[in-house]
Structure 1
């Protein structure tokens, strides 16, 4: 029998634990000897065969595993991590093998380049590895961006070296300084004397001006190199992935974190290219607005005036977007942005709105009306529009809008229908006064219209809501049952995900008792192709009664099983449940009869656990 991957991993785990135990025992033995410090150091440096044997065995097992499971990339990475952890020289050989077997996997090239860059500071080798990887994985966003990060990391190291030598100051990475700290530094700038200022004020240093000029040229050279690297990588990456929007976004995030002389110019170029290539995409406009203003971070890092200014820029972006690309998706992005902004400004105080929040709410209501006017209103936007009125406490306007939408553009919308019905039901019972016949009739007609227009699965929540509302109104409840019967006949008793008939049976059982529940389920089981969920509900009801001493319960359950198996004769679980019921409540003869019928009827007898039968 061939070994599995799990067998190799279990062996590796065992050998790892053994080697760990050996090292612990060796460490525990060292303090017992009464040697001087020099002798102890020599003994620590002295290695025995056992110090290498365990690692060598684990490496051999890994070698056998990756030879057998060459395509398992996760196994290769575990092999590499072990070599890296133990600082074993075999890692170079393993890296060459894995890049040969998995040359189309960007993560392999990234791992190899990172190992060469971090462990040996071999920039040339890491760069060559990245370029080789890009020849195989030209369409990998991660590889392009990791290549850019590697080049920027190298430039930042050069910058740090110049700072350490006194030839430069700062770094290529933006320092995150809070507003209070920045203000304190500006107010107390006289307390600071940078090193380059001290050199400028040294009158005895006759060559200071010349050295400063040379230093400035070196700094400018480094800035130019950094800018050139970023631009070159960006151009080549866009050529390879011209339709990738996420590549441009991630590139801008990297660009935002670095400190180069022309980074602002590069940023504008990237934004211009994105507008040219993605101006017809709603995601681009949504991202651009959030790029101008991020509600989660702006309020923490800037003042209130700057926050509102950034929000104004973001709103202008959305306004331009719905002019250039009016669509339901674009309106949803805009509406969500305004809702998040209002929630951020209001906070926990939901009862009152300040002037700024009120203006955003007004803009949001106008946005929904504009979407309706130009034909971009869809079911989700309509639902949000009604919900906003409810959140603002303007129930009458919500009722009117829901009525207009259900009777106009969205007569077959399940979400809007359910919301409208719930509004009307809550509004009618808000004063805790008994409803008039006219009111009950109007609500019933509203519900009936929605139930007849929608399928049973679409109207699930509406059915449950209506049954609860009219549970105490026998006349209307019976009318709902008639509507349910019509729907069940129309959709042939389908109960996938929601069984209307079983829900009604349970309602009748709780409301009127077992006798009425039996009448109701017999009516439903007489319809064409009743659902299996209905049969199971009724069988459970009867078996519970039989276990409590009801003499008719067992006979009714048998009749239900017989009827259910006429339609669902290939359901092995139904046969098994039937047999278990007979073994518990029936006789050995009835149980063996069910077992024989199941073996004879089922086409695939392997699906049935015949050991139970």
Structure 2
């Protein structure tokens, strides 16, 4: 290894001598350069060098070369001899290229490193680029990005369309199922075709297949009017031959494009996004004679994908000028767009009557009726304009049609109910919710939660809540718990606790329900914790004594959860009296019987004893933790920190 390093350092002598001779660096600076390079050389020549060794060496050489250029520029002002290229000017780039080559040979599978190598060659316009491309294609023939990069280099740098197309076709043989590669191949063909058409226009050979701007049209008109001022270098026959050649080439490119599209469809017959991307490219190219290709793509999309919702949603989106903008139906132009989209959706639900299709349709109608998503009263919605009222009536018909065809799912039903709530038809909404919950959607969690929360909201709006109403809501809540599991819905439980808080009888029954539920399912250590929420609510409403009574019941359950223990400990420590400290010790002991390997629990216990206990109690906790965990260094370290 040492021999290799010294041999490489000796090969740097001509460069270093040139740097000293041209007074770019002093002898002492060159000595430091050699020392640094020696360290890097030993790192990259060790038995198992790391990728970082090569990257740090490369970065050092790049910075050194930039610094050398700055030194040369500052020293060489007014001296023509020093400005001439020499050995040291070329050595930096050559060395970085050599390091990249060694690194890529060592880490052949690192694509990021390969592309860094290629980008550096491209930046420095180095002749090693072609060799590097050949190597990366040899080692990574199944990576589409490699073939795209190579084809782009051949087309942009070498200006060789045939070579670029050949590389693309080779890539497609290796990566036949790559959607990106097929799209880039089509993009390459159309880009070249567009350039040829532009060239024909500039030469005055336009045959109206390309849409050009007004300036080019004016120039062509002037040239036609002043034809006698120009002398043709070719005879008429020669011009005819040239036009025929161009027409043949155009036809050839279109044929290649069509064949490429058909091959792509054969390779990826189920890819809808591939057809969309092909169509977007063809439309963006703005070539008139590609209308046949565009028609073929549209026909194929309808034939192959009209049985799925994605096609119809895309077709509806195509009718919009700006798909990201919500339509304002108060404007006639946007109202016409909405009508076109509705026609597409109507055809879609006739062709494909499915819940997914109806859901897309309904969401579109809701967005244009109420673009801001705000709750409005019936008078507000219907009174905005006659157009809005017409869309509201149409939405109701769509809901009823979905119900009649049996194309409802939980999301559509919730939208159905929310629509009636937004137009202030609460009784109809609650009746719908009852019908769906009691029959077809008895296990729909979202629907049950919506039904129960709306009953609570309606009862609260009425002012004083009677016992019968509270009883009715509680029975509905109890019925919901029998049908679905909602112990992880924090918002629902907070609303329920708040609703029953003023009625001790039903609040106690609600707590009993919670305990039964937790006995069956247990608590959780991650995310929302129902017992923690209940204890926190009781503490805020009734104080620490009621909270203690409750958590003492909860911790006797099979699996109360670590989160409950920690929250109860926080409550007791926040009080801080002797009774609280005693209760905290009991909580720690209960928790450690189940979570003895939790270091945070031992740390909190030890910290409490250090603050409120004696040296004996804190030492006892420390030695217990050391015995249980095997190593208490992390415990003491966290306390010191």
TM-score w.r.t. length of structure 1:
0.85
- The aligned length equals 584
> Which of 504, 509, 521 is residue 474 of structure 1 equivalent to?
504
The residue aligned with 1:156 is: 194
> Which of 177, 181, 199 is residue 224 of structure 2 equivalent to?
199
Q: Deviations over 1:30-73 (max 9, x none)?
A: 44x3x6xxx5xx754x1133322322332232222212211110
Cα distance change on mapping 1:308 and 1:223 into 2, 3 Å: farther
How big is the shift at 1:22?
2.3
Paired with 1:343 and 1:296, the residues of 2 have a C-alpha distance of: 17
Paired with 1:355 and 1:209, the residues of 2 have a C-alpha distance of: 67
> Do 1:345 and 1:357's aligned partners in 2 also have CA atoms closer than 8 Å?
no
State whether structure 2 residue 366 is matched by structure 1 residue 339: yes
How big is the shift at 1:200?
6.8
> Which of 460, 464, 468 is residue 434 of structure 1 equivalent to?
464
> Do 1:573 and 1:608's aligned partners in 2 also have CA atoms closer than 8 Å?
no
State whether structure 2 residue 580 is matched by structure 1 residue 553: yes
Cα distance change on mapping 1:73 and 1:288 into 2, 3 Å: same
> Which of 397, 400, 404 is residue 373 of structure 1 equivalent to?
404
State whether structure 2 residue 452 is matched by structure 1 residue 421: yes
SS in 1 for 2:545: helix
How big is the shift at 1:502?
1.3
> Which of 315, 318, 331 is residue 288 of structure 1 equivalent to?
315
The residue aligned with 1:323 is: 350
- Superposed, 1:66-215 pairs within 5 Å as 66-168=104-206, 172=210, 193=218, 195-196=220-221, 199=224
Gaps of at least 5 residues in structure 1 are: 178-184
Range with bigger deviation, 452-461 or 415-424: 452-461
How big is the shift at 1:488?
1.0
The residue aligned with 1:354 is: 385
Paired with 1:138 and 1:192, the residues of 2 have a C-alpha distance of: 43
SS in 1 for 2:285: coil
The residue aligned with 1:180 is: none
Range with bigger deviation, 551-560 or 285-294: 285-294
> Do 1:227 and 1:260's aligned partners in 2 also have CA atoms closer than 8 Å?
no
> Which of 414, 418, 439 is residue 383 of structure 1 equivalent to?
414
The residue aligned with 1:523 is: 553
SS in 2 for 1:120: coil
Paired with 2:265 and 2:253, the residues of 1 have a C-alpha distance of: 18
> Which of 610, 616, 630 is residue 589 of structure 1 equivalent to?
616
- Superposed, 1:250-261 pairs within 5 Å as 250-261=277-288
How big is the shift at 1:466?
0.6
How big is the shift at 1:347?
12
- Superposed, 1:449-528 pairs within 5 Å as 449-494=479-524, 496-528=526-558
> Which of 75, 79, 93 is residue 55 of structure 1 equivalent to?
93
Paired with 2:89 and 2:249, the residues of 1 have a C-alpha distance of: 48
Cα distance change on mapping 1:250 and 1:204 into 2, 3 Å: closer
Range with bigger deviation, 108-117 or 498-507: 498-507
Paired with 1:305 and 1:198, the residues of 2 have a C-alpha distance of: 44
The residue aligned with 1:18 is: 64
Range with bigger deviation, 256-265 or 103-112: 256-265
> Do 2:172 and 2:182's aligned partners in 1 also have CA atoms closer than 8 Å?
yes
Paired with 1:19 and 1:201, the residues of 2 have a C-alpha distance of: 57
SS in 2 for 1:361: helix
How big is the shift at 1:345?
11
Cα distance change on mapping 1:607 and 1:246 into 2, 3 Å: farther
Paired with 1:170 and 1:609, the residues of 2 have a C-alpha distance of: 79
Gaps of at least 5 residues in structure 2 are: 1-45
Paired with 1:257 and 1:143, the residues of 2 have a C-alpha distance of: 18
How big is the shift at 1:498?
2.0
How big is the shift at 1:276?
2.2
Paired with 1:73 and 1:206, the residues of 2 have a C-alpha distance of: 56
SS in 2 for 1:63: helix
Q: Deviations over 1:87-142 (max 9, x none)?
A: 11111111111111111000001001101110110112211111111111111111
Paired with 2:353 and 2:631, the residues of 1 have a C-alpha distance of: 58
State whether structure 2 residue 28 is matched by structure 1 residue 3: no
